[in-house]
Structure 1
Amino acid sequence: MHKKPEAHVAKRLYLKMHNKNCSTQAGRITIQIFSTCLFSLQELQSSGRGRFLLEHAAPFSAFLTDSFGRQHNYLRISLTEKCNLRCQYCMPEEGVPLTPKSELLTAKEIITLARLFVKEGVEKIRLTGGEPLIRPDVVDIVGQLHKLEGLKTIAVTTNGINLARLLPRLKEAGVNAINISLDTLVPAKFEFIVRRKGFHKVMEGIHKATELGYHPVKVNCVVMRGFNEDELLGFVDFTKDLPLDVRFIEYMPFDGNKWNFKKMVSYKEMLDTIKQRWPDLEKLPCETSSTAKSYKVPHFQGQISFITSMSEHFCGSCNRLRITADGNLKVCLFGNSEVSLRDHLRSGASEEELVQIIGEAVGRKKKQHAGMFVVSEKKQQ
């Protein structure tokens, strides 16, 4: 991979060109173009964001690189606000006010925005909700995403209720990664936590995913004191004979879940509990941008991970952006700042204008979120 020229090297080249006989119109145009490029290079080097871009040999969109050098190549797209469960840590029993359908992104708008982000360097798109698999056109949306050149991963996060039925078609359309939410291995407790029936459908979805070759199948488990912290060992044992990655997620504040710090079980407390049963638990290597701390019990087929959003944030390596179901761009899950890409799209903004708007939002991204206590206070207001 060639090294990019520094500004002073480019300047010497410019002076040599200028000293040559450039009296022709073509020569003068060449000099003018080169001097403009040189100015842009020097301007880049004068800013922190620009220096970061110049120092990294691998090309990446400046519009998706923030002022702290974080490159955002992972986009989460919410397909719907609706959900067929009422998990106690996510929303109240009566549900939440829904945005009118006319204000939600259409399938065409989702693909238009996704194409824009992929063109700028996004390599992974995760479809979320609400519950994404209750959207009637989800398979078609996946198929359209699969056609985008440069997109390497199409992932889906689901509660698993409709998964066994839809997964063969989703796999054929292009889904190559699955996350399934499951907070208990006890059917009666499942109904209590999610306020609905469906435990056996979720288990069927997990087994269907392993049968279809998804390795690993990620199982998201939100751990809450007084609800399911007594099932940690059972979930670890769940990985013994199946290629699962059970991901223990620290209980986080969301609108409507009446977050209580006393309900949160920290990563370290969970790890200590598990190590008492399996003292030879092995720490696994992870990617820089990974949100998970991963471990494995020797000779188990699967593994476990911890998502430490509250006790040990991973803001410094964050590479994620989010688009809500109504088309707002969120550069941080815990931030209040949003930019409506839907409104700009519907008002006829050009691709260049949309990229500029996205770049400005990414450029404003903060170094880290305010911390779990401040975040929880904001979410309860």
Structure 2
Amino acid sequence: MPDTDRSALLAEFAASGRNHPYLAFTLNSLCNLDCVFCKPRCMPDYGHKDRPLSAGGYAAIAREAGAWKVTKAHCSGGEPTLRRDIVQVIAALADGLGTGASIGLTTHGNLRRGLTVDQLADAGLTYLNVSLHSLDRARSAEIMGGGDPDRARDTIDAALALHLKVKINCVVQRSYLRDALQVVRLAKDLPVAVRLIELQNIGPASAIFGKEYIPEAEVRPHLEDWLAGAGHVSRTELGVRSPGDYLQPDGWAGSIGFISNSSCATCSDANRIKITSSGVARPCILHNRDIALKQHLADGTLDEAFAHLFRAMLDRDGNPAWQGFHYVDYDLRWDRMRRPQGAPVTLPVLSTGSCGRPSAGEAR
């Protein structure tokens, strides 16, 4: 693609006022735990039948993304640290996007033997998201189907010692609300953002949603003493691009965040380009313009693929289902989950009114 064509499309994108896209990679579907709201092993594509992208593939995608001014890549799974080449993948993304890029990883924190946070940081990792839903070993195992919260804490401490930005993801369930509040207290002494995430009525979580869902509005009164007089922390300051509201109680080292996609229409400027482990790119979950990147990798036409992706993100405003926001982050981790083909998808959108979220112009 001529540089003039790329520049013209980038200028059009900038003029739209949208946050610039970032890459959200699902590196695998494998996980050695079995969280009650995830249940990866019950998914029909558990383990993936298709060959995943190689470190070289990620490097090529990152180099092309860099030409499109993309400066962030986030990796999740499954449990991405189960990939034997995870250090090479992180290095490929960091090298491809270049100096100053933000490279992140979501993990349950129980790193496999032989893998350390130091190795990931040396490869170019700049921030770490750790899933932690209880500090009690037995109750944590009930939620996550195994694992050890003390090992997750060790991972968090190691990341902080290396000056990585750290966020803790805690899915709130009614039966484990006290556990979530204990996790929140970690932010009192640690410079972390603890994010309280509402349960979503999707995938395996649908089986427990009626019993365990508790909205942000019911959680906040339990935090009243901490949040009284708390100051807002901008997502730009935290280096966060996902939707949410972040507050820092007086005297706390860290902050408390709310990710409430079930009760609040929070994602007014979604800007993730999701890429599955086998290389299927999805620029918008409400607009069916998926594009398989493997053939473009083979043909050397990634520039055409990225032009398609940027154009699809701009065109989604014409999708009648979007209405400026969506309220559920549909789970697209699995390559073979059924998606309509052809015309843009029209999905129902629940309008819940204003939740006092930051404006669309602030970084997610």
- Counterpart position of 1:323: 275
Out of 229, 251, 265, which is 1:299 matched to? Answer: 251
Give CA deviations for 1:200-225 in whole Å, capped at 9, x if unaligned: 221211121122222x4211001112
Is the 2:160–2:166 Cα contact (8 Å) retained in structure 1? yes
Indicate the larger mover: 356-365 or 118-127: 356-365
- Counterpart position of 1:124: 72
Distance 1:64 1:170 in 2: 36
Is the 2:23–2:275 Cα contact (8 Å) retained in structure 1? yes
How does the TM-score come out when normalised to structure 1?
A: 0.73
1:344 matches 2:295 = yes
Give the CA deviation at 1:90: 1.1
Distance 1:187 1:297 in 2: 27
Distance 1:232 1:108 in 2: 39
Amino acid at match of 2:62: A
Is the 2:293–2:305 Cα contact (8 Å) retained in structure 1? no
Bigger proportion of residues as helix: 1
- Counterpart position of 1:243: 191
Give the CA deviation at 1:136: 0.7
- Counterpart position of 2:88: 140
CA distance 1:74–1:92, shift in 2 (3 Å): closer
- Counterpart position of 1:23: none
Amino acid at match of 2:215: S
Is the 1:66–1:363 Cα contact (8 Å) retained in structure 2? no
Gaps of 5+ in 1: 1-36, 41-52, 54-58
Q: Secondary structure at the match of 2:205?
A: coil
Give CA deviations for 1:116-137 in whole Å, capped at 9, x if unaligned: 1221021111111111111111
Distance 2:32 2:64 in 1: 31
Q: Secondary structure at the match of 1:256?
A: helix
Out of 184, 195, 203, which is 2:153 matched to? Answer: 203
Which residues in structure 2 correspond to 1:278-317 (within 5 Å)? 279-287=228-236, 291-317=243-269
Give CA deviations for 1:282-341 in whole Å, capped at 9, x if unaligned: 3334449551211112112111111122222333222222111121112235x4735232
Which residues in structure 2 correspond to 1:82-93 (within 5 Å)? 82-91=30-39
% identical equivalent positions: 24
Amino acid at match of 1:175: L
Is the 1:63–1:355 Cα contact (8 Å) retained in structure 2? no
- Counterpart position of 1:219: 168
Give the CA deviation at 1:252: 1.8
Distance 2:12 2:142 in 1: 42
Give the CA deviation at 1:145: 2.0
How does the TM-score come out when normalised to structure 2?
A: 0.77
Give the CA deviation at 1:278: 5.1
Q: Secondary structure at the match of 1:317?
A: coil
Give CA deviations for 1:214-247 in whole Å, capped at 9, x if unaligned: 2x42110011122x21234322322222222111
Which residues in structure 2 correspond to 1:132-281 (within 5 Å)? 132-148=80-96, 149=98, 152-162=101-111, 165-214=115-164, 216-226=165-175, 228-258=176-206, 260-276=209-225, 279-281=228-230
Indicate the larger mover: 280-289 or 103-112: 280-289
Distance 1:196 1:101 in 2: 26
CA distance 1:336–1:181, shift in 2 (3 Å): farther
CA distance 1:173–1:84, shift in 2 (3 Å): same
- Counterpart position of 1:28: none
Is the 1:63–1:356 Cα contact (8 Å) retained in structure 2? no
1:111 matches 2:63 = no
Amino acid at match of 1:302: G
Is the 1:220–1:248 Cα contact (8 Å) retained in structure 2? yes
Give the CA deviation at 1:69: 4.2
CA distance 1:112–1:354, shift in 2 (3 Å): same
Give CA deviations for 1:117-167 in whole Å, capped at 9, x if unaligned: 221021111111111111111111212222233652111111111079421
CA distance 1:64–1:258, shift in 2 (3 Å): farther
Q: Considering only CA atoms, is the larger Rg found in Structure 1 or Structure 2?
A: 1
Amino acid at match of 2:104: A
Distance 2:166 2:47 in 1: 32
Indicate the larger mover: 265-274 or 185-194: 265-274
